[in-house]
Structure 1
Amino acid sequence: MEYDPGRRRFLKTAGMGVFGVAIFGVAIVSCSDEGTSEASTSSTQPSSTTTTSAAATTTTATVVSTTAPPITDVVTSKRVDLGFVSAYIVDRGDGLVVVDTGVGGSAAAIQAVIEEYGRSWADVGYVIATHDHPDHVGSLNAVLALATDADVFAGSLDAAGIGSDRPITQLSDGDVVNGVEVIATPGHTKGHISLLDPDVGLFSGDAINGADGGVIGPNPRFTSDLAAADASVVKLATYTYEQIFFGHGEPVLTGGSAAVKKLADSL
């Protein structure tokens, strides 16, 4: 994809220097941890829905660019397999990115994968939630208690539904967090986002799922707007990537965008 100078870019600062450009709104969110529990495409979990409300206060900060962050030549990711749901760790050299945190009690499993990199919680710079369902943010505050220097990100329409102990930076379509592009994929939830790492692949959250080595749509039982979800599948089919890492289901390691296009053509 071509570089768009209008994109917001979020990069960590180091000491007195600044790594990159960020012009963003920070939402301070306080709400219940309860929400809609979710099953994978291959496992059945009881669902429960609790209506929550939250007030968000938005402030604006501006960071001026100086130099680009040091990125390693090889960018890698690791899956945190939590059973019916997965979280992911991406190593881009200057700070680990945690994509989703799984159900409650998942922090130890996430730590074990971080340690496979020879890293620690101090190396986690970014925690990104693809959406506000508790099987994806259930361990968010436990992770933040350990990753004390991490910034937290989520889609702008889902941020208020996430009970975070730390301010959440609200993301929009086209934003870039440490080299990872944000793709707005509403439907499963109003503020659902997917993430495209140009060096690794697509982190789809629950916009699409893996099944039998292929790709299927989100679970209708837990999807708030099926028409919007279908439109998001069509949107994901316009990007190019080999690998797909799902919230539910085994990753697709080759031919990812072709598989999504096939699904989109069937809708």
Structure 2
Amino acid sequence: MDSTAIKNFAAQIRYYTLKELNYMGYGHYGGSLSIVETLAVLYGNQLQVSPETKDDLNRDFFVLSKGHAGPALYATLFLKGYISEDWLYTLNQNGTNLPSHPDKNKTPGVDMTTGSLGQGISAATGIAYGNKIAGRENYTYCIVGDGELNEGQCWEAIQFAAHRQLDHFVLFIDDNKKQLDGYTTEICNPFDFEAKFAAFGFHTLKADGSSVEEINEAIERAKSLTDKPIAIVLDTVKGQGVPFIEDMYSNHHLRLDDAAKAAIEATTEKIGIEIGVR
């Protein structure tokens, strides 16, 4: 896809992410919205996988370590033909195939069950290492949250990935500056992610997480690097693309009152008109 097509794909992902969350009336809006552009670039331009090849060991793998952003992944999987639209409106309901956090045993296209923060990155590192041992040239991509990096398990996996020189492992840090109960700098200051990952033995890159062009360029650059895993620090905003949510201090998990629902649904409708869906 060219950048215009990817931007449109991102708008579609944002629209359907909002639709499924609005239908439920509550959920993880903030962190789902901040990874929309990254998902659009991955599934629109970079990930070598399709519904037909989702079980092929030579495909690229993707692990959403920050599993609470599952709604954005589900919207993406619907748009790529893995699941049907009606599944979206069963999000987190009894008997659903789309639980609040991704489950590889329930949802086609999900490579790893995640949600217990810190564990997804370990699983992704294991996948990348297994592929390297098997001599495969496919890539493993993983998105980790900035607040999630409070977990010590993440840094054990990061150190392991560097030690094993997993240069087909690309880790995105969704640096949206917030976690469940406030700003990351107030709760446990992460300091400089680029410097930290470089110190741990990664190639480090940075991209505007709202720019599909910068994200795509960073991935292309990552693929040209060797001998080390790659960390791409994404400068994002929690609630990205929905000003009403961006402006909220506490926007990790929302339960919508009538005013909030009306405001968010207005943005949803606006995006729907822009992409030709109502």
Give the alignment's TM-score, normalised by structure 1.
0.33
Q: Which structure dedicates a bigger proportion of its chain to helix? A: 2
Q: Which structure dedicates a bigger proportion of its chain to strand? A: 1
Greater relative contact order (CA < 8 Å, ≥ 6 in sequence): 2
